[in-house]
Amino acid sequence: MIAFASCIGSMERFSAQAAPALNRALETDSMFAELTTETSIHDVYNEALEHFSGVETLEALVLLHDDVELLAPEHFCSRVRGVMADPTIAIAGVVGARDVHGLAWWEGTVAGSVMETRGVVEGDLRDREVDAVDGLIMVLSPWAVRHLRCDAETFTGFHGYDVDLCFQARAAGRRVVAADLPVFHHTKGGFGDEAAWQAADAAFRAKWGDA
């Protein structure tokens, strides 16, 4: 069973941009969790991880933003199964990078591809193994769901969870990849609260150093 969870900041945005394709991607046994918070994505994602960690039939958990549209949704679950057939993979996204030293992963060697409202972000399409992926969409293996948690003590708000989870997975000997999972990201761009992003970046660097 492939489960889905979305942290929804705007129900209007989710209904217009994510929900139509997501509804077509859901299989008969798929589970979907609508998550809402005004304070911390780390806390609500941890609630989802705790909940789905107890589902014995779980094949993967897809975490996606409320502005992410799945393309070719009828084939999305089969694509996820193809990626997660490799038991060494803990987390898959659509775009990420190697040589990541902070939350600005795009300053590293980019791999994977995603279409966005501001253009196409694309890097290495042959070697898709990365240090971290962008949290716009993250596919977690059953191992990742049961063993990884967002670091809600180090991070607050809405930044840092994605790169930190990827670094946790790699520190445990698992792999992170930018997979071929076509989506369209209806992003407005920018950091949102830039001061909060800078604080999260500083916390990440203090935690991981030269890892």
Q: Is the dihedral of CA 103, 156, 199, 34 positive or negative?
A: positive
* Per-residue pLDDT reduced to its tens digit, 6-47: 999 999 999 999 999 999 999 999 999 999 988 899 999 999
DSSP codes of every residue in 92-127: EESEEEES--SS-GGGSEEEEEEEETTEEEE-BSS-
* 97, 113 contact by CB (below 8 A): no
What is the per-residue pLDDT for 4? 98
What is the per-residue pLDDT for 194? 87
What is the per-residue pLDDT for 191? 67
Strand positions, DSSP E, the chain: 2-7, 32-35, 60-65, 68-70, 89-93, 95-98, 109-116, 119-122, 132-133, 137-140, 175-178, 183-185
**The two three-digit tokens of residue 138, written as one number:** 């993250």
- How many domains in the chain? 1
The residue segments making up the domain with residue 128 are 2-208
The residue with tokens 């830039």 is: 194
What is the per-residue pLDDT for 189? 76
A 10 A CB-CB count for 165 gives 27
What is the per-residue pLDDT for 211? 63
Distance of CA 141 to the CA centre of its chain: 12
CATH number of the domain residue 59 falls in: 3.90.550.10
> Residues of the chain whose pLDDT is less than 50?
none
- Could you give the angle at which helices 161-171 and 194-208 cross, rounded to 10 degrees? 10
What are φ and ψ of residue 26, in 5° steps?
-65, 135
Asked whether the whole model's pTM tops 0.75, one would answer: yes
